Structure 1
Amino acid sequence: MKQIKLQPLNQEVEVSTDSTLLSVLLEQEMNVLQACGGQGRCATCHIYVQSGKEALSPKSEQEILTLSFITTSQENSRLACQARVLQDGLVIEVPQGMYIGSIGELKSLIGKRAQQNLIHPLTGDVLVEEGKLILRSALEKMAEIDSTFTTDLSQILLPPEKSKVLHK
């Protein structure tokens, strides 16, 4: 068993060697969306390693690719579904709030109060603050972010002539 610390909860937990950080977060009953089912493709389990990054498995190519699209990604960013605990001494920071994986998911919450900040997974933008009523304007904000992100992404990944065809 390995010891890790979860921030900002200031909670120490024991985990089995080779467990993913996602399994640890779920065991602690933290609300992690895991929209892609733990495949490292959606960024809804993005966390930060405060110390002990050597206690984790190396980043996979998929994780590196997904993290490259996240605007809030930092050197110490990891996807909890991809990072496996190998040693003691790890301290991770879980962002305050819940990532929203799709407009459909956000739409199902309209009319309710946000139990915690609702966060866009790729930009880290707060769509709805904790305690606020979830309104249709949050859908518009998410759609605007998604549209801007898709446009930016297509300009990075596609040759200029094909990018123009997509945005006519």
Structure 2
Amino acid sequence: MPTIKILPHAEYCPQGRDVLVPVGTSICEALLDNGIAIEHACDMSCACTTCHVIVREGIGSLNAPDETEEDLLDRAWGLEPNSRLSCQAIVAQKDLVVEIPKYSINHARENH
């Protein structure tokens, strides 16, 4: 099983963490299954950007984003070239390093 290394995030994963993930699992599901409560306001239906992550290593092993995901990512806070919606990024055989951005669109709306 591949490993996802989650970089430290003050709210969701302060110490950072490595988790083993079955191939075919979305990054969002993997985080949630391992007690990392990443936001996913649309229940993983690719209708928001709250589960946005930045894949620091291993992005080439993930499935390609479709047009809907790419359109939504344009609205994500802190968008980078290796940004993905974690609900749409499916883990393959390669290990990943993932960063959860400091803010999401919900944080901005809720005045965090």
**TM-score, scaled to structure 2:** 0.82
Contact 1:32 1:99 in 2 (8 A): no
More helix by share: 1
Q: 2:21 aligns with which of 15, 23, 42?
A: 15
**Counterpart position of 2:92:** 86
Letter in 1 for 2:111: L
SS of corresponding position for 1:54: helix
> Aligned residue pairs: how many?
106
Task: Tell me the CA shift for residue 97 of structure 1.
Answer: 5.7
Q: 2:33 aligns with which of 27, 40, 60?
A: 27
Q: 2:63 aligns with which of 50, 57, 64?
A: 57
Classify 1:97/1:25 alpha carbon distance in 2 versus 1 (closer, same or farther; 3 Å).
farther
SS of corresponding position for 1:57: coil
Provide the C-alpha distance between the structure 1 equivalents of 2:33 and 2:2, rounded to a whole number of angstroms: 15
**Counterpart position of 1:120:** 108
Task: Tell me the CA shift for residue 69 of structure 1.
Answer: 2.3
Larger RCO, structures 1/2 (Cα 8 Å, 6+ apart): 2
Task: Tell me the CA shift for residue 21 of structure 1.
Answer: 0.4
Classify 1:77/1:45 alpha carbon distance in 2 versus 1 (closer, same or farther; 3 Å).
same
Task: Tell me the CA shift for residue 99 of structure 1.
Answer: 5.7
Identity in percent: 31
Provide the C-alpha distance between the structure 2 equivalents of 1:96 and 1:61, rounded to a whole number of angstroms: 25
Provide the C-alpha distance between the structure 2 equivalents of 1:58 and 1:49, rounded to a whole number of angstroms: 13
Provide the C-alpha distance between the structure 1 equivalents of 2:55 and 2:96, rounded to a whole number of angstroms: 8
Classify 1:98/1:70 alpha carbon distance in 2 versus 1 (closer, same or farther; 3 Å).
closer
Q: Structure 2: any 5+ residue segments left out of the alignment?
A: 9-14
Q: Note the aligned Cα RMSD (angstroms).
A: 2.0
Provide the C-alpha distance between the structure 2 equivalents of 1:68 and 1:51, rounded to a whole number of angstroms: 21
**Counterpart position of 2:81:** 75
Task: Tell me the CA shift for residue 31 of structure 1.
Answer: 2.2
Provide the C-alpha distance between the structure 2 equivalents of 1:63 and 1:120, rounded to a whole number of angstroms: 20
Q: Structure 1: any 5+ residue segments left out of the alignment?
A: 101-118, 129-168
Task: Tell me the CA shift for residue 32 of structure 1.
Answer: 2.2
